Amino acid sequence: MNCQLCQKNLDAYQEGRLPSDMMTQVESHLETCDSCKRIYNAQLLAGRVIITEKETDANPFLVTRVMAMIENMENTGHEKESLRIRLLRPALVTVSLAAAVFFGIMLGNLSRPARNADKIPVELALINDASLESVDILSNE
């Protein structure tokens, strides 16, 4: 087991996807090799960050949860409290609408370069046509 092979198999090792003899080979290499061990630790850390980010993905539901909480409070809460919530709710709706519009614009920007790529050849073809025409005119004279 060399370092290159070890590092190539680290992903599979971390997920336990390697054949068992490969697992033990990577494992024993990690015990003896500091640089691979460091890479493996970094990978473990990165994996943990990804897991944390996956957990925070639940956030889109935050608005829904807050809205449900507001509904509950409106049903059970005091007059004064529900008045404040009635003022707060349009703000929340505005925020989620703004987010939707923002993502719409983002998506529009993402698809635009593709449209431009289609446009350029057409324009180039027109330019070529124009130059061909002028050549024709010149040759007629």
Tokens linked to 136: 């024709």
Nearer to Zn ion, 10 or 70 (CB): 10
**Contact range with Zn ion by CB under 5 A, out of 30-38, 93-101, 111-119, 121-129:** 30-38
Site mask for Zn ion (CB under 5 A), range 4-23, x = bound = --x-----------------
Write the single-letter amino acid at 6: C
- Does residue 3 bind Zn ion (CB under 5 A)? yes
Nearer to Zn ion, 6 or 18 (CB): 6
Choosing from 13, 36, 40, 70, the residue that interacts with Zn ion (CB under 5 A) is: 36
CA atoms within 13 A on the CB side of 132: 6
**Contact range with Zn ion by CB under 5 A, out of 29-37, 53-61, 73-81, 114-122:** 29-37
Q: Please provide the DSSP assignment of 75-100 as one string.
A: HHS-HHHHHHHHHHHHHHHHHHHHHH
Integer Cα distance of 91 and 70 in angstroms = 13
Nearer to Zn ion, 28 or 64 (CB): 28
- Does residue 33 bind Zn ion (CB under 5 A)? yes
Dihedral sign computed on CA atoms, order 117, 122, 126, 128: positive
Nearer to Zn ion, 12 or 33 (CB): 33
Residue 29 CB neighbour total at 10 angstroms = 20
Catalog residues that contact Zn ion under the rule CB under 5 A: 3, 6, 33, 36
